[in-house]
DNA sequence: CTTTGTATGATTGTCAACAATATTCTTGAC
DNA sequence: GTCAAGAATATTGTTGACAATCATACAAAG
C-alpha cells in the first residue's frame, strides 16, 4: 500500500509537477462542472478518499482548494457541499466578470503583438458564426464560446487576471449555458464577438472593453431571466438536503 | 493533551464560528502583513505547528488557504515561502484592482440607500484631509485609507467583489504604502477621495467609477516608480534564500 | 400528538508516526 | 581549492487511529 502512492493512486500519465492534492482538485472540479454532483449535494471526505484510494488528509486539503475556487462550500463541523448559488449570487459574479472581461479585452486590443494570435482568434469566431446559425447546436456553441474564452485567457499577459476570470467562469458555467439557450441570444452573442474582433484588429481598446462588458451583462440578464422563470433549479431550500445525503451515501 | 484542543490552543476569546484552521490563517496573514516574515522567507510546517501548539495537519490546510490568498507560495515537495512579487506582478494586481474598485464605487454611488452611510464616509474623508496636510504622518494616512477602503467594502452589497478586493488589497498592502509616501501623492489622493464623495452624493456612478479607476492607476504608477528606483526591496534573486532559511530556523 | 431527552451511528477535527523526497554536510579524488 | 558522490539530516507527503461533534432514531413524559 505504501509503495509510491503519489504515482499509483492517480492516472500515471499526469505530470508530477502538480501535487496529488491539486490533481484531485482538478478531477473533482471536473466532476462538479460536468454535473456529476448537483448543487447542494454533500461531499463526504471518506467517500472521496475511498474513490481516489487516498486517506482523508489530502482530501481535506483538496476540499479547501475547491472552496477557495467557489465550487464547494465548507461549513465548520458540518462538511462540504457543492455550492448552490442564489440568483443574487449569480448576478454578483456576472457583475464582477463584466469589468474584468473588459480589462482583458482592452489589454488584448492594445497588445502590440496581437498580430501573432489574431488569425487564430478569427478562425474560432468564424467557427462560432457557423454554429450560431444552426438552430439546434446550443451545446456545441457553448463549447466553442468556452474554447474562445480559454484562448483569450492564454493570450492575455496578466496571469492573475487570467486565473480570476477562469475561476469566475467556472463558477457560472452552468448559468452561462442558460444564457445562450435561445438562437436569438446566440445571434446577439456572435455579433458581439465579431465587433470585438474588429476592435482588436484596429487596436481600439475602448471599444473592445465596452463590448466585452456589455456581452457579460447580456449573458447575465439572459441567465437571470431564465432562472427567475424556472426557479426549480435554484430554489430548493430544504435546509438539510436529506434526500441528497442519501443519494451520496448509496453511491 | 486531548481535552478540548480547539479552545485551548488559541486565544479563548475568539469566536468558535471560525474553525481552528481559519483562525490560524488569520493570525498568520497578520504576521505576514505586519512584516514579521519578509518576502521570500521560507515557512516550515513544523515551526508553525509548534508555535500554535497543533499538529502539522491543520497547518497544512492553513497554508493552502494562505496560498489561495496569494500571501504565500507553495511549491510541491519544497514547501511554503512568503510571496515575493516582481514589479510586473505588482503592476498586474493594481491593473485588476482598478476596474474592480471602479465597479465598487459605481455600485456605491448608485446605492439607493447611500444616505445611511454617507455621513460616516464624509467623516472618514474629513479625517483623511487632516492627515494629508501633515507632512510626517504617512503611516497614519495609510492606516486611514485602509480604514476607508474597509468601510467601503462593508457598504458594498456584492459580497464576492468585497472579498476579491480585500484579497488583492492585502497582496499589495506594502506597495500601496509606498505609493503614498510623499506629501504630494497624499494631496493627489485626498483630492480623489473628495471628488469621490461628491460623485457618490450626486449618485453619479460614471464619475465615481472613473475616479476610482484613476486613483488605483495613480497608486500603481507611484508604487512602481519607487520600486524601480529602489530595486533592493524586490530584486533579491538568490534562488535558495539560504540566509532567510537560517533566520527562520534560529527563531 | 407533540415534545424532550437519550442513545447510537456517522462525520469531521486532530494527532503522532512513518514514508518519500529534498537539502545539507562530509568525504574523497583530482 | 573545486567538484562529485554518498551519507546524514531536515522537510514534506501520507496514513490510520482516536477524539469531538453532529445528526438521526427512538422512547418516555407531558
Q: Is B93 on the interface with A (CB under 8 A)?
A: yes
Predicted confidence band at A1 (pLDDT cuts at 50, 70, 90)? very low
Identify the residue with better confidence: B213 or A137. B213
A24 CB and strand D closer than 7 A: no
Q: Is B18 on the interface with A (CB under 8 A)?
A: yes
Q: For residues B33 and B27, is the Cβ–Cβ distance under 8 A?
A: no
Q: Which fold has domain B10-84?
A: Arc Repressor Mutant, subunit A (1.10.10)
Structure confidence at residue B61 (pLDDT): 97
- Which residue ranges make up each domain of chain B? 10-84, 87-231
CATH level 2 (architecture), domain A5-84+236-250:
Orthogonal Bundle (1.10)
Q: How far, in Å, is the CA of A56 from the C1' of nucleotide C3? A: 39
Please tell me which residue of chain B has the smallest CA distance to A63: B61
C-alpha dist (Å) from residue A246 to A99, A243, A249, B185 = 41, 5, 5, 61
C-alpha dist (Å) from residue B192 to B78, B143, B147, B218 = 44, 17, 16, 10
Strand D nucleotides, any atom under 7 Å to a protein CB: 11-17, 19-24
Residues 190-219 of B with CB under 8 A from A: none
Predicted confidence band at B18 (pLDDT cuts at 50, 70, 90)? low
CA distance B123 to A206: 36
Q: Residue B189: phi, psi to the nearest 5?
A: -60, -50
CATH code matching the domain that covers B87-231, chosen among 3.30.70.1450, 3.20.20.70, 1.20.120.530, 1.10.3720.10 = 1.20.120.530
Structure confidence at residue A12 (pLDDT): 33
B46 CB and strand D closer than 7 A: yes
Residue A2, nucleotide of least CA–C1' distance? C19
Identify the residue with better confidence: B87 or A235. B87
Give the model confidence (pLDDT) of A190-247 as tens digits: 999 999 999 999 999 999 999 999 999 999 999 999 999 876 544 343 333 433 443 3
Q: Which residue is nearest to nucleotide D21 (CA to C1')?
A: A77
Radius of gyration of chain B (CA): 20
Nearest Cα residue to A132 out of A174, A189, A178: A189
Identify the residue with better confidence: B249 or A228. A228
Average pLDDT over residues A39-64: 96
Q: How does B85-116 read in b/e, with b if 16+ C-beta sit within 10 Å?
A: beeebbbbbbbbbbbbbbbbbbbbbebeebee
Q: For residues B29 and B174, is the Cβ–Cβ distance under 8 A?
A: no
For B20, other C-beta atoms within 10 Å of its C-beta total 20
Amino acid at each position: 500500500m505504501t509503495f509510491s502512492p503519489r504515482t499509483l493512486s492517480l492516472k500515471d500519465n499526469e505530470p508530477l509537477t502538480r501535487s496529488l492534492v491539486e490533481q484531485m482538485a482538478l478531477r473533482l472540479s471536473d466532476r462538479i462542472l460536468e454535473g456529476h454532483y448537483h448543487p447542494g449535494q454533500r461531499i463526504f471526505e471518506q467517500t472521496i478518499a475511498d474513490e481516489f484510494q487516498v486517506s482523508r488528509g489530502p482530501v481535506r486539503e483538496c476540499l479547501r482548494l475547491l472552496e477557495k475556487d467557489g465550487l464547494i462550500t465548507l461549513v465548520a463541523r458540518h462538511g462540504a457541499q457543492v455550492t448552490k448559488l442564489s440568483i443574487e449570487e449569480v448576478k454578483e459574479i456576472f457583475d464582477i466578470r463584466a469589468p474584468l472581461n473588459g480589462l482583458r479585452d482592452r489589454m488584448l486590443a492594445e497588445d502590440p503583438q496581437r498580430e501573432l494570435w489574431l488569425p487564430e482568434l478569427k478562425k474560432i469566431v468564424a467557427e462560432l458564426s457557423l454554429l450560431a446559425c444552426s438552430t439546434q447546436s446550443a451545446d456545441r456553441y457553448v463549447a466553442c464560446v468556452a474554447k474562445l474564452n480559454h484562448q483569450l485567457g492564454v493570450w492575455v499577459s496578466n496571469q492573475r487576471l487570467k486565473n480570476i476570470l477562469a475561476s469566475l467562469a467556472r463558477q457560472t458555467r452552468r448559468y452561462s449555458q442558460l444564457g445562450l439557450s435561445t438562437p436569438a441570444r446566440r445571434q446577439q452573442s456572435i455579433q458581439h464577438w465579431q465587433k470585438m474582433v474588429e476592435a482588436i484588429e484596429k487596436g481600439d481598446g475602448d471599444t473592445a472593453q465596452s463590448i466585452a462588458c456589455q456581452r457579460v451583462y447580456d449573458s447575465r440578464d439572459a441567465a437571470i431571466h431564465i432562472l427567475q422563470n424556472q426557479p426549480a433549479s435554484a430554489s430548493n431550500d430544504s435546509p438539510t438536503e436529506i434526500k441528497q445525503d442519501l443519494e451520496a451515501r448509496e453511491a
